Amino acid sequence: MIDTVRPERAVLVGLASRITRRERVQEFLDELQQLTETAGAVVVDRLVQERSSPEAATFIGSGKVEELARMTEDLTIDLVVFDDDLSPVQVRNLERTIKCKIVDRSGIILAIFASRARTSEAKTQVELAQLEYMLPRLTRQWTHLSRVVGGVGTKGPGETQIETDRRAIRSRITRLRERLGVIQKERSVQRKGRDKFPRVALVGYTNVGKSTLLNWFTNAGVLVEDRLFATLDSTVRMVELSPAHRILLSDTVGFIRKLPHQLVASFKSTLEEATEADILMHVVDISHPSFEEQIGVVNETLDDIGAQGKPTVMVFNKIDRLSDRSAMPYLAERYANAVFVSAWRGINMGGLRDQLIALLQDTVTEHEVTLTQQQYKLLSRLHDTADILEKRYNGNSIVVRFRAPKAEAERIMKLTGGRKGERRT
């Protein structure tokens, strides 16, 4: 989307309304500027419209559209970036007056993901998200796809180029979904092979230091850069917290405000590292002025993918950047299992290790139960809610060794009529 010899010149557009005050809009535009510059453009100016609510036809109203059109001509602008997502109708109406590319926040994030994708899986996920985003937004200002399938029956009388492009996109989307389905099954098989160890997933807003934490624990050599979405691919490594406690630690793609739903859906197989984890490490950049809002964004995304409510260590990172640490006691009281560290400088990383061990001992237990053939419903529940570590058949009985969160393990043991066989991980 952003790929020219010279950097494209961009104007950012935000909307101040009854819900979002102008000061907050400027904060959002600061983040949008980071996104736009990460995508490869140069931000030249900003425009903020004040109205009670978005205008249905053009989002910012006809008068502001005329002002924006004059600005793009005077400043030789190539790209206008809206902080909020635009409907296909709004994009088409804006393009009639503004003679340059119109992109919204989701479009910029998708462009960044496309430039960051390295593995075949990530490239497939991003391409699917981009095509699903592009499909309803095709206009005459888009150049048509470079490859259009030909042959008998592929183009009817009077069919426009846009209709042909849409047909090609839908066909490609179908193939990409099939490919991701295969990838998801492969990942599921890989996870079953790792069931004997508790799983811990790093989650958090983008650019909070998750990869730095992973490197500290594992020496994985994952790319670490001070920019948004530096890494997209999940990395899983074995970590020995102590001789008695070994875990599988995985990194996940960073979250952000208004993360496009197409990306959440396309990256399902990657994000399942969080949904399948026994424990989450929620990493927070405590030096960021809006870190508590970022915590809320991450929690909302975890809820969307079904990973909310898991045992969680709150890792407040980058304390070395704080000039005032007076808020730390308040945060320690507000958030359970809070740890304050600097992964970059190695400050209090031993405390984080101890907190993980304590949570492992408190939340995840192993048990062994003997079930009869008639207890197939209980066996099915075990498969749904626990990690099956081993199954042995003894005549008409099945001996099952499993690992589960402590509360669920206790419920299962009550149903079997005993508590024997418990082993702490």
Residue 266 is predicted with a pLDDT of 65
Residue 133 is predicted with a pLDDT of 87
DSSP string, 56-67: TTTBS-HHHHHH
The one-letter code for the residue type at 240 is E
Q: Answer yes or no: is 200 within a domain.
A: yes
Q: Note whether 243 and 290 are same-domain residues.
A: yes
Q: Return the axis-axis angle of helices 88-97 and 62-74, rounded to nearest 10°.
A: 50
Q: Answer yes or no: is 125 within a domain.
A: yes
pLDDT per residue over 297-312, tens digit each?
999 989 988 888 889 9
Q: With cut-offs at 50, 70 and 90, classify the pLDDT of residue 226.
A: low
Q: Answer yes or no: is 291 within a domain.
A: yes
Q: With cut-offs at 50, 70 and 90, classify the pLDDT of residue 393.
A: confident
Q: Answer yes or no: is 217 within a domain.
A: yes
* pLDDT at residue 272 greater than cutoff 90: no
Report the run of H or E that residue 300 belongs to, with start and end: helix 291-304
Report the run of H or E that residue 241 belongs to, with start and end: strand 236-242
DSSP string, 68-92: HHHHHHHTT-SEEEESSPPPHHHHH
Q: Answer yes or no: is 1 within a domain.
A: no
Structure-token match 């001992």, residue found: 361
Q: Is 48 helix (H, G, I), strand (E, B) or coil?
A: strand
Q: Note whether 209 and 271 are same-domain residues.
A: yes
> Between vectors from CA 408 to CA 404 and to CA 412, what angle results, nearest 5°?
95
Q: Note whether 107 and 122 are same-domain residues.
A: no
pLDDT per residue over 69-117, tens digit each?
999 999 999 999 999 999 989 999 999 999 999 999 988 988 888 887 7
* pLDDT at residue 419 greater than cutoff 50: no
* pLDDT at residue 145 greater than cutoff 50: no
Q: Is 26 helix (H, G, I), strand (E, B) or coil?
A: helix
* Domain final position from 141, 162, 191: 191
Distance CA(74)–CA(283), nearest Å, equals 43
* Domain final position from 174, 191, 208: 191
pLDDT per residue over 149-195, tens digit each?
443 333 444 456 777 788 888 999 999 989 888 877 777 666 555 55
Residue 154 is predicted with a pLDDT of 37
Whole-angstrom Cα Rg for the chain: 25
Distance CA(127)–CA(173), nearest Å, equals 9
Q: Note whether 396 and 248 are same-domain residues.
A: no
Report the run of H or E that residue 334 belongs to, with start and end: helix 328-334
Low-confidence winner among 116-120, 205-209, 243-247, 397-401 (lowest mean pLDDT): 116-120
Structure tokens belonging to residue 361: 């001992």
Q: Note whether 19 and 105 are same-domain residues.
A: yes
Q: Note whether 290 and 410 are same-domain residues.
A: no
Q: Note whether 347 and 398 are same-domain residues.
A: no
What is the mean predicted confidence (pLDDT) over 252-275?
76
Residue 144 is predicted with a pLDDT of 43
Cα maximum dimension of the chain? 84
**CATH number for the domain including 311?**
3.40.50.300
Q: How many residues does the chain have?
A: 425
The one-letter code for the residue type at 280 is L
* Domain final position from 63, 95, 112: 112
Residue 418 is predicted with a pLDDT of 55
Q: With cut-offs at 50, 70 and 90, classify the pLDDT of residue 196.
A: low
Q: Note whether 299 and 388 are same-domain residues.
A: no
Q: Note whether 141 and 231 are same-domain residues.
A: no
CB-based contacts of 324, cutoff 8 Å, min separation 6: none
Give me the domain span that covers residue 181: 117-191
Q: Note whether 357 and 260 are same-domain residues.
A: yes
Please state the φ and ψ torsions of residue 273, each to the nearest 5 degrees.
Answer: -60, -30
* pLDDT at residue 422 greater than cutoff 60: no
Distance CA(103)–CA(56), nearest Å, equals 17
Strand partners, 369: 400
Q: Which residue has the higher pLDDT, 329 or 246?
A: 329
Q: Answer yes or no: is 405 within a domain.
A: yes
Distance CA(379)–CA(187), nearest Å, equals 23
DSSP state letter for 202: E
- 184 exposed, middle or buried (CB, 10 Å; 0-12, 13-18, 19+)? middle
Strand partners, 312: 280
Q: Note whether 184 and 267 are same-domain residues.
A: no
Q: With cut-offs at 50, 70 and 90, classify the pLDDT of residue 425.
A: very low
Q: Quick one: the chain helix, strand, coil %, rounded to 5?
A: 45, 20, 35
Percentage of the residues of the chain whose pLDDT score is greater than 90:
38
Low-confidence winner among 47-51, 135-139, 282-286 (lowest mean pLDDT): 135-139
Calculate the average pLDDT of the chain.
83
| E strand segments, 66-152 | 79-82, 101-104
Q: Note whether 399 and 420 are same-domain residues.
A: yes
* pLDDT at residue 373 greater than cutoff 90: no
Q: Answer yes or no: is 2 within a domain.
A: no
> Between vectors from CA 11 to CA 6 and to CA 17, what angle results, nearest 5°?
160
Distance CA(53)–CA(13), nearest Å, equals 15
* pLDDT at residue 230 greater than cutoff 70: no
Q: With cut-offs at 50, 70 and 90, classify the pLDDT of residue 232.
A: low
pLDDT per residue over 288-300, tens digit each?
989 999 999 999 9
**CATH number for the domain including 23?**
3.40.50.11060
What is the mean predicted confidence (pLDDT) over 371-400?
83
Residue 245 is predicted with a pLDDT of 82
The one-letter code for the residue type at 301 is T
Q: Answer yes or no: is 4 within a domain.
A: no
- 29 neighbors 63 (Cβ within 8 angstroms): no
Task: Give the total number of structural domains in the chain.
Answer: 4
Residue 270 is predicted with a pLDDT of 64
Distance CA(236)–CA(248), nearest Å, equals 6
**In the Cβ-directed half-sphere of 316, how many Cα atoms lie within 13 Å?**
23
Structure tokens belonging to residue 71: 């600005």
Q: With cut-offs at 50, 70 and 90, classify the pLDDT of residue 412.
A: confident
Residue 194 is predicted with a pLDDT of 54
DSSP state letter for 254: P
